[in-house]
Each structure stands twice: as C-alpha cells, then as structure tokens.
Amino acid sequence: MIIFNQEKSTFHLKTAKTSYIMKIFDSGHLFHLYWGNSLNTNNLDYSIPRQNWYKELEKNYDTNEFQLEFYPQEFPGYGATDLRSPIIELEFADGSSTTDFKYVKHKIYSGKHKLDGLPATYTENDSEAQTLEITLSDTIKNIDAILSFTVFDNYNAITRSVKLINKSNHNIKIQRILSASLDFKESNFEILHLSGAWARECHIERMPLRKGTQSIESRRGASSHSQNPFIALVKPDVTENYGEVYAMSLVYSGNFLANIEVDMYYSCRMQIGINPFDFTWLLKPNSTFQTPEAVLVYSNDGITGMSHTYQNLYAKRLIRGNWRDKARPILINNWEATYFDFDEVKIKKIAQEASNFGIELFVLDDGWFGQRNSDDCSLGDWFVNENKLHGGLKKLVDDINSMGLKFGLWFEPEMICPVSELYKKHPDWCLHVKGRKRSTARHQLVLDLSRKDVCEYIIDSVSTILSNANIEYVKWDMNRNMNEIGSDLLAPENQREVAHRYILGLYYILEKITQKFPNILFESCASGGGRFDPGMLYYMPQTWTSDNTDAIERLKIQYGTSIVYPNIAMGCHVSAVPNHQVSRITPFSTRGIAAMCGNFGYELDLTKLNNQEKEQAKAQIKFYKMIRNLIQFGDFYRLQSPFNSNEVAWSFVAKDKSEAIVSFFRVLAQPNHPQVTIRAVGLEKNSIYQDERTGLTYGGDELMSVGINIPDDIFQGAIYDSLSNKVLFAGMTNNSIKGDYSSFIWHFIKIK
Ligand code: DGJ
C-alpha cells in the first residue's frame, strides 16, 4: 500500500510487516525518513535531524548556508552541498558536474510496469502491488529522474529503479547512476555479503561497519564468483532468527557496485547499482536511461526472515514461465562422468542405467558440437559432431526418450574460440580493442553482444538445434570474464558503454529464446555460480550452483547461496570420489544428503557404481521423489552454520507445515563427542509429527524445544545411511578418515 499525505508531503510505503517513509522536504529534496517495522503514522517530521538549527538561524531552506549533507536523502546528486557518495554523477556539455534534483510530481498506480529491456520482479495481478513514480528534476540542466518504487504488500519487499530523461538540447555523459541509495542516521551495523571464487561461491562474510567507504563490486563483466550482487546491514546482535536486517539485492548480471559510506557524523549511506567503474553512457537529447531494479528487504526476524522474503519473491515473482511452479526433474549429467571423451554408445549406457534407477532427465554436457574434443576449440560452431554422435543428435535424443528420459543439452552461446569456423568468418565479432592483443581464457573470447548481428546469430543457431530434436532442458554456460572490452561498431565516445550493452544484448537473446521455447527448462551456469544472480533467474529458473561437487564444500556453498536465493533455483549433484575438485572421499550417503538441498541430480558414471552404491542411489532417488515438493517449494531454515562449526544442519518445512526434513552433517570425526541435539524450527508446536523412518512420534513443540538427538554411532565414526537404515561402515575408527563426513536425514510427517 502507498499512502501520500499531502499536508505532510510524505510517502508511506507499507507492506504487511514494514514501513518505508519519504518526505518532500521544504527545500524540494526527497528525504528518507524511515525504514523498518510497520508504523501506523507517517508524521515523522520530528525525526529529521538538525532542522531546528536551520529554522532558527536562517528561517528558510533556500539560503546558501543550507547543507544537504546533514539530511537523509533518497536521490543524492553531487556538488550541491552533499559530498557523500552520490547516486548520480553526470558530465554536462559545459564540463560541469553539479546536480541538484528536486520534486516535480508523482503518481501512484496499482501493479507494476515492465522495465525496458531489463529483468525485474513482476505482478500477476494489479492488486498484488502498488507503484509510486516520483519525478525529480534538475531544472538548471533540464534533466528528469523518475524514481519508481513498487511495494509488494504480502512479500514484504520494495523494489526501486531510476529512469533518467535528457530533456535538454545537449548530450549528457552519465558517469554514475545507481538504482538505490538511502541514508541511515546511525552506523552501528555489520555488513553481510556473499563472497567467493570459482568452486567456492557464496561464502558468507560478516564484518563490522567502519568509518569511511566500504564496498563490494564486480568489474569482471558478470555479476561474478567473487561477489554476489547483494549486501545487507545487520545489527550486531542479529542471528538467524532474531534482529534487524536491511538488505539490497540487484536484478542485474553485469558489473555492479554495493557501497556503504559511514560519514563524519556517523550516519551511513547504503547504495547498489551498475558499477560506475569503466562505465559512461552518452545520453542524447530526448533519450532515456533505465537502471536495473534493486530489491529492498527489511526483516525484524533475523537473517532467516530476510532470506525467506527474497526466496519467496524470487521464486514466485521474478522467476517466470512454465517451470516456475513445476517440480524439477532428477537429472544425470555426463560432464564429470566422461568430460569430452564420449560417443553415443557410452552416453546411452549411462542413460540406460539412469533410467533403471528412476532418473528423469539426461543432460549431454560440453563436447557434442564442432570439433570439440577438448576445451580449446569450436565454441560458436553450433552444429552436431557426427563423428562422435553417429546418427546425429535427433537419433540420440529419440533413443534416450525411448528409455523414458527427457533430454537436455549444454551450450555456451556467448563465446567464440579463435579455433572455430565462426572466427574464420567473423574475426571482428568478439569483444576487442583495436591494436591490442585478444586475451583468451579457457582458449576462448567473448562474443560482442552489444552488436545486434551477433545477438541474432546466437538466437538463430541455438534455435536451430532446439527445433530439430526433442530437447526439454538447456544448460546455458558462460566460462570466462571480459578483457579488452571494446566493440567494432561503436564510436569512441560509446566504448565505455560496452559492458552494459553486452548485458542488454544478453537479456535480449534470453528473452527471445525463452519465449520461443517456453516448455524448455533452462538452467544458467557460469563456471558454476559465476552468474548466480536475480537477473539470470528472470530468464532461467535454475542455476548450476558451483563446479565444486564435493559434498563437504557444497555445505558452505549451498548454505551461503540460500541467503538470497530459493533452493528450487540451485542445482546440486552427487559426484564420484575421490572428488574431482578437491580429491576428498565422502560416503555416498553424505553426497546424497548434501545434494538434496535443491534440484537433485547425479554427475558421475552410473555404470561404474558398485552394487552397494547402486542400491543407495536407487534409495536416494526414491526418497527424493517423496520429498521433492517439500525441498523445492518448502521453506528453508539454516540451523547450524558450516562457517563456524564442525556440525552443519538445515531443514525444509512445507508451507502448510505438514512435513519437514532435517539434515545433519558432521564434517570431521571427533572421539567421545557429547550428545549433539538439533532443534527444528518452523513447525506447528501443537501438532504431532511422525519420523517416517522409525515411526516414532514427537510433538512439534518437542522437536523445536527439546530437539532431536544425533545418533551416537556417527560420532564413533560409523557411516550410517539413514535412507536405507543401514550401517555401511561400523565405526569405532577414531583417527580414521573413513569415519569423517557422516550425515543423517530425518523426514517428519504431521499426523495430527
Ligand atoms: C563449466 C560448467 O560449470 C561445468 O558444469 C561444465 O558444463 C563445463 N563448463 C563444460 O565445459
């Protein structure tokens, strides 16, 4: 709901649990008054700092002594008495850069408009949300900024974006235009963010906020493995289930900046948007620039409250299409099973075994096209390698379909190898700077998606493959970041637009292809989670979480990813041991339980499993099918963090509380361990739940207040497969590596 109070000139953006209040100040500037628990009032004039001082000294706000720097703002420009980090920085034709935006008008409407060319959250009907558009103007330079705020009442989220309109007769250079900026009167916070690297995505970082500027960013051309486009300010006492959290997440897949500045008065400014680094945009007269959308979430229920808001909003009002509400298939992917070394015979053997096990989808990964028998050639040549797949792709797909499996295919469409037919024809189609070398990474260059002809080539070549066989899933990979960023078709003054134009080109391609093939399940990937961001989720409802398939490494990666993203968006697979990324040997059962944290699958040669592993795989698949809806559509609770403990636990609870999963992992064996108890959360305290495996019953209150005892054998080093209820390794092996990495999973069903 959005309430405009004319007398007080305030906008009250109210969700079920939160309030966000702004005021058009006497000076015409838009001030930020409040963000937090829901309020009944919006009469917060008293909360504006230092106004008496001005009133008494100067009597009005028009004097040259008026200092914007003392006030909490929504759209801070640069140069006009606020010298903190601006949301906008422009260079005008006369070389000046001072801006001062003041209120002109506003409108409020039901629902939400689409953002031009950009992914964004959406409404299904107008009653779900209201939008406020406030027009601010710098009248000296004749430029308008339309700030859009959408209030999702029941999701407790507010989205923000900015559209800039050049109404002058001169070109304007945009040096910086972020999506959201707001000021807090205090700075007693800690920063929470998700940081990582290839194979180490989304590790949770939390650190005190210091005086000065602190930021996370990507300059890599993709949102990146290094930092996720998300930042939160949390009160120092915040835990998973307690305390105040203020968060921003950016619906964008390219270079971003999330910036916090603690100023000399100990107030702090929080911002997020496109990274101004190596970015300028030439805004011609009568043209507009639309920023990506920032999603703002306040929680008074700790980090879990924030995560649930993001997860619910992103699962239902960011992810789109036919697969949004559908259970996702259990898959087998051949990458770690075969790498490039396969032919149709090998592939069909794995597929047949998968079908015997009850797996539902076979995914043919890299290596099926061009001359691609290693990673040094052929990206761009999207035609089937019939020397490898004798009989062609359609025949293989039909054969796999006749085994009762869907078929999925891997592409890396944004890339071009210098050794490829495409590069011979179009050496100018990659990003490059004339006269400089073209640095390859994984033997590939990045196609120049700022060019329309390149985008159309990708749409056509991918569509041709997808139209010629019954392909029901696509893994859309992207395996390097950008260097030597430049485009042949743009003028010198537009060259620093390329990184953003690339992302706009990518979104154009994704929109076209996903609309053309609405029944295909698309999964995005960027060497694992290198572009696990809200922008990609708008087009592709799931993402390959990490190339690291080691179960123990995955505990941290999946735990961290869940801070913002819904579990239904995470691809999680059981792989072979020793693990291919870290060489660790973990029990098959632990690998299974760790992978049952999202979209479950296997990524190993199933024909090489021993009999015990085959039985375990079948039990895992059967079990996952039983709990799939709970995992994919339930609420996720983080119970015990892998970042500060040898024991890790998480839980899924059905939205209607009718069932729950609790998973527990013990990383390193420890002798004589005290009894460990895990307390469930999110259940109905007056209901009775039955342990599906043992038949024992517990009150919801008992499970939440007393907790579940972790069976002692796993502390003695035993490996227990809680799915088949068998002790696989007897234990009593203190100091033995075989006893490490045990795990347990419980399934509780409400019986009354
Ligand atoms: C990187 C991906 O993350 C892997 O899963 C796999 O698809 C390879 N690329 C294939 O080259």
pLDDT digits over 466-512, tens only? 999 999 999 999 999 999 999 999 999 999 999 999 999 999 999 99
Q: How far is the centre of ligand 1, averaged over its atoms, from the C-alpha of 250 (Å)?
A: 25
> 3-state DSSP call for residue 633?
helix
Is 671 or 424 the better-scoring residue by pLDDT? 424
Q: What are phi and psi of 664, to 5 degrees?
A: -135, 140
Domain residue limits, the chain: 2-304, 331-629, 652-750
Helices (DSSP H) in 433-530: which residue ranges?
A: 452-467, 498-516
pLDDT band per the 50, 70, 90 thresholds, residue 726: low
pLDDT band per the 50, 70, 90 thresholds, residue 454: very high
pLDDT band per the 50, 70, 90 thresholds, residue 64: confident
Which atom of ligand 1 is nearest the CA belonging to 335?
6
Measured at the CA of 177, the angle between CA 174 and CA 183, to 5 degrees, comes to 145
E strands, 578-731, where? 599-603, 635-640, 647-653, 659-666, 677-678, 688-691, 697-699, 708-709, 719-721, 726-729
Of the chain, the end-to-end C-alpha distance in Å amounts to: 37
pLDDT band per the 50, 70, 90 thresholds, residue 733: very low
Residue 735: per-residue pLDDT: 34
Residue 356: per-residue pLDDT: 98
What number does CATH give the domain 2-304?
A: 2.70.98.60
Q: pLDDT exceeding 70 applies to what percent of the chain? A: 95
CB of 335 closer than 6 angstroms to any ligand 1 atom? yes
Residue 501: per-residue pLDDT: 98
pLDDT band per the 50, 70, 90 thresholds, residue 42: confident
Closest CA to 159 of 180, 190, 140, 174: 180
Mean pLDDT of 710-726: 64
Does the pLDDT at position 734 exceed 50? no
Does the pLDDT at position 174 exceed 60? yes
pLDDT band per the 50, 70, 90 thresholds, residue 716: low
CB of 528 closer than 6 angstroms to any ligand 1 atom? yes
- Rounded CA-CA distance 23/75 in Å is 12
Residue 727: per-residue pLDDT: 61
Q: What are phi and psi of 576, to 5 degrees?
A: -80, 160
Q: List the single range of 322-336, 571-585, 636-650, 668-682 with lowest mean pLDDT.
A: 668-682
Q: Do 331-629 and 652-750 come out as alike in CATH topology?
A: no
Residue 694: per-residue pLDDT: 87
Taking phi over 0 as left and psi of -120 to 50 as alpha, with beta for the rest, 717 belongs to left
Does the pLDDT at position 127 exceed 90? yes
CB of 477 closer than 6 angstroms to any ligand 1 atom? yes
What number does CATH give the domain 331-629?
A: 3.20.20.70
Does the pLDDT at position 149 exceed 90? yes
Taking phi over 0 as left and psi of -120 to 50 as alpha, with beta for the rest, 613 belongs to alpha
Residue 731: per-residue pLDDT: 45
Q: Round the CA-based radius of gyration of the chain to a whole number and report it.
A: 27
Measured at the CA of 716, the angle between CA 713 and CA 722, to 5 degrees, comes to 35
Place of tokens 């869907």: 406
pLDDT band per the 50, 70, 90 thresholds, residue 713: low
CB of 547 closer than 6 angstroms to any ligand 1 atom? yes
**CA 541 vs CA 214, 232, 524, 750: distances in Å:** 32, 24, 8, 30
Q: What are the residues whose beta carbons fall under 8 Å from the beta carbon of 53, sequence distance 6 or more?
A: none
Architecture of the domain spanning 652-750: Sandwich (2.60)
- Rounded CA-CA distance 430/751 in Å is 60
Does the pLDDT at position 739 exceed 70? no
- Rounded CA-CA distance 21/35 in Å is 6
Does the pLDDT at position 359 exceed 60? yes
- Rounded CA-CA distance 292/97 in Å is 23
CB of 366 closer than 6 angstroms to any ligand 1 atom? yes
Residues designated catalytic: 477, 547
Provide the mean pLDDT of the chain.
94
Over residues 526-561, the pLDDT tens digits come to 999 999 999 999 999 999 999 999 999 999 999 999
Place of tokens 């154009």: 508
Closest CA to 500 of 242, 273, 167, 264: 273
Over residues 378-387, the pLDDT tens digits come to 999 999 999 9
Does the pLDDT at position 665 exceed 70? yes
b/e burial code for range 283-318 (CB count within 10 A of at least 16 → b): beeeeebbbbbbbbbbbbbbbbbbbbbbbbbbbbbb
Residue 736: per-residue pLDDT: 35
**CA 297 vs CA 76, 301, 307, 740, 752: distances in Å:** 21, 12, 9, 39, 35
Mean pLDDT of 9-33: 96
**CA 214 vs CA 211, 239, 269, 271, 546: distances in Å:** 9, 22, 10, 11, 27
Over residues 420-447, the pLDDT tens digits come to 999 999 999 999 999 999 999 999 999 9
Residue 675: per-residue pLDDT: 85
> 3-state DSSP call for residue 281?
strand
Q: How far is the centre of ligand 1, averaged over its atoms, from the C-alpha of 461 (Å)?
A: 20
Over residues 229-242, the pLDDT tens digits come to 999 999 999 999 99
Residue 738: per-residue pLDDT: 43
Q: How far is the centre of ligand 1, averaged over its atoms, from the C-alpha of 527 (Å)?
A: 6
Place of tokens 């078709």: 489
Residue ID of nearest Cα to ligand 1 atom 1: 527
CB of 620 closer than 6 angstroms to any ligand 1 atom? no
pLDDT band per the 50, 70, 90 thresholds, residue 705: very high
Q: How far is the centre of ligand 1, averaged over its atoms, from the C-alpha of 264 (Å)?
A: 47
Residue ID of nearest Cα to ligand 1 atom 3: 527
Q: What are the residues whose beta carbons fall under 8 Å from the beta carbon of 233, sequence distance 6 or more?
A: 184, 189, 190, 191, 192, 209, 245, 246, 247, 260, 268, 270
